């Protein structure tokens, strides 16, 4: 998660908000994403869940503070079906060329918890500020192992605001050495790709693991903007995707743009990634959204609300345009979130979900950790976020869905009219229906109810051939 950028954020803030909005208005993007991740049955997967969890970043064992009971509570309270599960290079490859199978065992155990409950898992190779090795106490950054952190003796001063570490010469040099803009460490990208190969080899064929998020919030060091994204970042993604395909032909590969700028509404220069697998490519675009006023700690009110609304609109347009340029790839909003004690916070959460629904994007909220950004207090007491996150949504859709909306208490699925077809009558779609809005399940117009699971609150239904919309209304 990127928060306020201090001096840098203030300097470029107006450019980002205004420039991003202008870019979106100049060239309208697609109305919605043109494809989705798919499950083993070929149904569209709608990601709806949490990042789990920030507590894993600095943990000695790399595991989040999260139990099976916590997962049961999460489903009961919010009806999630997806998780972006944080892993780290430091744990995968603690020494060059050595891959820690005990750590991967721990990851697999948690994946099993989700699998037992019907969730889909995205494994996210997380980093912030490159590595814990940027400071002597190891408590500031996270992600890369110490042996892959080359600061060349440059300083890293202490800051109260952790984001300012991105401006430190030592941190910048660590990134420059990884991207090999220094020419001194071409081996690091190879190590990174092979570490992902080790992860993919372990989880290839695991039905719960549907995606690999190749790098959290990439940062270019001294190389910024399109030059970084179209150059070293695209090259790393291609190298890593190829390494994954050596051992795993099926799991989706998710790529992120540079966070600095895109998170605030600017376009991306990221290039397309070729997929070496046989059959249709399985590449997805998984950007993050943190509008600058909120990154600086504002709520969703007053003049900040207007700026944020413009940024969200620009971000959505730029996201869909980028996905189209990459080959019509699926989109998952991999992170968004805020301190929900701020004014208008829940209105902002609602805006983001409505924007994503209308654009055909899955959403993964930051994060599952307790506290003001999360769904629970440290003692497990539910927080206000739960009411905003629990909502009707399609979990898996057999037809050519393009978007969905919640209108007058009804869940409406919009199907792609260009196809001239409805769903595959041999496949069953699913929707999650919250108890407060659908106490007795739902009635389907444009399809047929197959089953209502009142315990899981999941409605199974088929889609009529030729249907252009499917409307689920609360049952009487």
Question: What DSSP line would sit under 225-283, residue for residue?
Answer: HHHHIIIIIHHHHHHHHHHHHTT-SSSEEEE---HHHHTTT----PPP----SSSS--E
397: phi then psi, degrees, rounded to nearest 5: -130, 130
CA angle centred on 143, ends 296 and 263, rounded to 5°:
30
Q: Do domains 6-391 and 393-476 have the same CATH topology?
A: no
| The length of the chain, given as a count of residues | 476
Q: Which numeric CATH code is attached to 6-391?
A: 3.20.20.80
Distance in angstroms (rounded) separating the CA atoms of residues 58 and 135: 13
Cβ atoms within 10 Å, residue 78: 23
DSSP 113: H
Task: Residue 174: name the closest of 212, 146, 194, 206 by CA.
Answer: 146
CATH superfamily of this structure's domain 393-476: Golgi alpha-mannosidase II (2.60.40.1180)
> pLDDT digit of tens for each residue in the chain (476 aa)?
443 344 344 334 444 444 444 444 445 679 999 999 999 999 999 999 999 999 999 999 999 999 999 999 999 999 999 999 999 999 999 999 999 999 999 999 999 999 999 999 999 999 999 999 999 999 999 999 999 999 999 999 999 888 899 999 999 999 999 999 999 999 999 999 999 999 999 999 999 999 999 999 999 999 999 999 999 999 999 999 999 999 999 999 999 999 999 999 999 999 999 999 999 999 999 999 999 998 888 999 999 999 999 999 999 999 999 999 999 999 999 999 999 999 999 999 999 999 999 999 999 999 999 999 999 999 999 999 999 999 999 999 998 999 999 989 999 999 986 433 444 556 999 999 999 999 999 999 999 999 999 999 999 999 999 999 999 999 99
In the numeric block, the tokens 């042996």 are attached to 147
8 Å CB contact between 248 and 225 = no
pTM as predicted: 0.95
Q: Which residues contact 439 (CB under 8 A, 6 or more apart)?
A: 474
Q: How is the chain split into domains, by residue range?
A: 6-391, 393-476
């Amino acid at each position: 998660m990127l928060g306020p950028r201090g001096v840098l954020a203030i300097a470029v803030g107006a450019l980002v908000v205004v420039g991003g909005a202008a870019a979106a208005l100049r060239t309208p993007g697609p109305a919605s994403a043109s494809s989705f991740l798919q499950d083993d049955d070929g149904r569209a997967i709608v990601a709806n869940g949490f990042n789990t969890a920030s507590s894993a970043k600095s943990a000695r064992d790399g595991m989040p503070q999260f139990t099976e009971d916590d997962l049961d509570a999460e489903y009961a309270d919010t009806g999630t079906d997806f998780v972006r599960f944080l892993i780290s290079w430091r744990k995968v490859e603690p020494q060059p060329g050595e891959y820690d199978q005990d750590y991967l065992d721990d990851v697999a155990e948690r994946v099993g918890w989700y699998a037992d409950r019907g969730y889909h898992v995205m494994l996210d190779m997380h980093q912030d500020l490159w590595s814990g090795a940027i400071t002597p106490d190891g408590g500031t950054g996270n992600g890369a192992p110490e042996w892959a952190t080359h600061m060349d003796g440059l300083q890293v001063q202490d800051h109260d605001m952790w984001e300012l570490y991105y401006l430190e010469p030592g941190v910048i040099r660590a990134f420059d050495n990884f991207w090999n803009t220094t020419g001194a460490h071409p081996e690091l990208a190879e190590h990174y790709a092979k570490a992902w190969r080790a992860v993919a080899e372990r989880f290839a064929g695991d039905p719960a693991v549907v995606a690999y998020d190749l790098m959290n919030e990439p940062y270019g060091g001294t190389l910024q903007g399109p030059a970084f994204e179209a150059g070293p970042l695209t090259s790393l993604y291609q190298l890593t995707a190829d390494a994954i395909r050596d051992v795993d032909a099926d799991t989706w590969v998710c790529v992120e743009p540079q966070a600095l700028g895109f998170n605030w509404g600017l376009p991306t220069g990221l290039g397309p990634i070729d997929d070496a697998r046989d059959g249709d490519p399985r590449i997805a675009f998984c950007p993050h959204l943190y509008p600058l006023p909120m990154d600086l700690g504002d709520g969703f009110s007053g003049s900040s609300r207007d700026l944020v609304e413009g940024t969200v609109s620009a971000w959505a347009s730029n996201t869909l345009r980028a996905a189209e340029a990459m080959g019509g790839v699926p989109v998952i909003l991999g992170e968004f979130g805020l301190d929900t004690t701020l004014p208008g916070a829940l209105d902002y959460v609602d805006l983001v979900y409505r924007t994503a629904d209308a654009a055909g994007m899955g959403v993964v909220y930051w994060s599952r950790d307790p506290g003001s950004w999360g769904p629970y207090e440290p003692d497990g007491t539910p927080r206000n976020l739960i009411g905003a996150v629990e909502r009707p949504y399609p979990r898996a859709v057999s037809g050519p869905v393009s978007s969905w909306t919640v209108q007058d208490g009804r869940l409406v699925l919009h199907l792609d009219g260009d196809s001239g077809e409805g769903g595959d009558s041999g496949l069953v779609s699913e929707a999650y229906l919250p108890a407060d809005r659908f106490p007795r399940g739902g009635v389907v117009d444009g399809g047929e109810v197959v089953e209502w699971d009142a315990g899981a609150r999941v409605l199974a239904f088929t889609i009529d051939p030729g249907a252009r919309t499917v409307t689920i209304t609360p049952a009487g």
